[in-house]
Structure 1
């Protein structure tokens, strides 16, 4: 089981390079950067965490920029979007972004994606909330075609383009893993349909369910779709500092757990990472 860490990387947190180096030095496998292009002032959409939306959601930097900085500061650490809002990004440009960062990092990119929850944010990008899931599926399918074909083309309800030529192609073959975030059953079904991984949240059982119940259901869903569960491993976000629970995750067959770090400077973050380094050692 691998260990990762997620942080809202902002201008008053640790720098991406400093955090990435600290993670790599302590035995972490991956760094994850979330995304919000902006937060509309209307605030119609409720935040899944309850209460007021934390300020870091307004302030977070672009994940492709921060992860490129992290890539330059490390040699083995994997770099993940946690998660990229594909419903708010042009698929042709996104395909090039991912392929480019996979190239400059030497094949270390993990393409975590989601369909999004903030209706007014995506509406500002011209995305209809009701049909966002199908839009994301088509964009992911189109992106995979651009990554893997010499002259890709795509014809869908929302995404359409004729034969094109687009390079670079990713280092990873056939392409970087698309790891789909979302609750069971809808997020899990999307992962089973077009993903190479699933990201449930452990920290919100009221919304996302108990992972010890949903992960076996996800494995059954994969088998029902004719897929080997090993082809779509689970990454749990929001893991807590508890060795017994981490051991249960490992025994459940979880591929990776990721801790959510505060958007803060070294004096706050590094002691947390030191505690996690010991947990990583204990978990083997």
Structure 2
């Protein structure tokens, strides 16, 4: 069993390079970062977590800049997104950013993607929330072309470009593993078509996670590697999640100052040690 943390890195919490070193020293397998480019002042879309939108959503660093800083001071830690909002990002910039971090880290990137929830944020990027799923699907297909072909081209309903050169290419072959977030029918279809791994959320009912895991195993021989995200520091819950047979468990790490973060990491590491 592998253990990771998923978190927001901001200007008010521990630096990403210091966090990465601390994780590697404590035997964690991966650092997974969330992202939001901005938060519109006038927002009608409710936060899926309920209540007021937490402060960290307003202040998060760009994930790929933060992961590059983490890559520079580590040697084994996997570096990922949970999740990158690809539907509202520029396709060519994402292809270059992910490939750049993969090369600079020696092939340690996990590319986690999701459809997103903040409709006002999407619209600011020119993304229509109603078609973001179809757009995301085409961008996933297109980014793989950019990573794997010297002269890449793509012609779809939402993404269309003639042959282009795009370097650097990732170290990992054929490309960094793509992990797809979500448990909806659309997310699972996306996973089976474009994904190498799954990012289910721990808040999903355990029985439903078992059902979906079994269904995915029927759909793809050998099943789908899964990283269970946002796991609380709860020994009882952790034992249940371990029984699911997931590849990796990712603890939610609050965004707090460095000293507080290191104390929490010590506690998480001690809990994880019982199942390594």
TM range (shorter): over 0.9
Q: TM-score, normalised by structure 2?
A: 0.96
Structure 2 distance, partners of 1:145, 1:263, is: 36
Q: Would the aligned equivalents of 1:200 and 1:211 in 2 still touch at CA under 8 Å?
A: no
| Cα deviation, residue 260, structure 1 | 1.2
Structure 1, residues 188-215: CA drift from partner, whole Å, max 9, x if none? Answer: 2221221111111113xxxxx3144234
Q: Which residue of 2 aligns with 1:213?
A: 208
Q: Secondary structure at the match of 2:163?
A: coil
Structure 2 distance, partners of 1:55, 1:279, is: 28
Unaligned 5+ residue runs, structure 1?
204-208
Unaligned 5+ residue runs, structure 2?
none
Q: Which residue of 2 aligns with 1:228?
A: 221
Q: Secondary structure at the match of 1:153?
A: strand
Cα RMSD (Å): 1.4
Work out whether 1:282 is the aligned partner of 2:271: no
Structure 1, residues 73-107: CA drift from partner, whole Å, max 9, x if none? Answer: 11100000111000111111211111110000000
Q: Secondary structure at the match of 2:263?
A: helix
Q: Would the aligned equivalents of 1:78 and 1:109 in 2 still touch at CA under 8 Å?
A: yes
Alignment of 1:82-93 (within 5 A): 82-93=82-93
Q: TM-score, normalised by structure 1?
A: 0.93
Q: Which residue of 2 aligns with 1:15?
A: 15
Q: Which residue of 1 aligns with 2:39?
A: 39
Structure 1, residues 26-64: CA drift from partner, whole Å, max 9, x if none? Answer: 010000111100011111100001001011101111001
Displaced runs of 4+ in structure 1, greater than 6 A? Answer: none
Q: Which residue of 2 aligns with 1:261?
A: 253
Q: Which segment drifts farther, 119-128 or 247-256? A: 247-256
Structure 1 distance, partners of 2:222, 2:40, is: 39
Q: Secondary structure at the match of 1:97?
A: helix
Q: Which segment drifts farther, 243-252 or 152-161? A: 243-252
Q: Secondary structure at the match of 1:4?
A: strand
Alignment of 1:1-284 (within 5 A): 1-203=1-203, 209-224=204-219, 227-230=220-223, 232-284=224-276
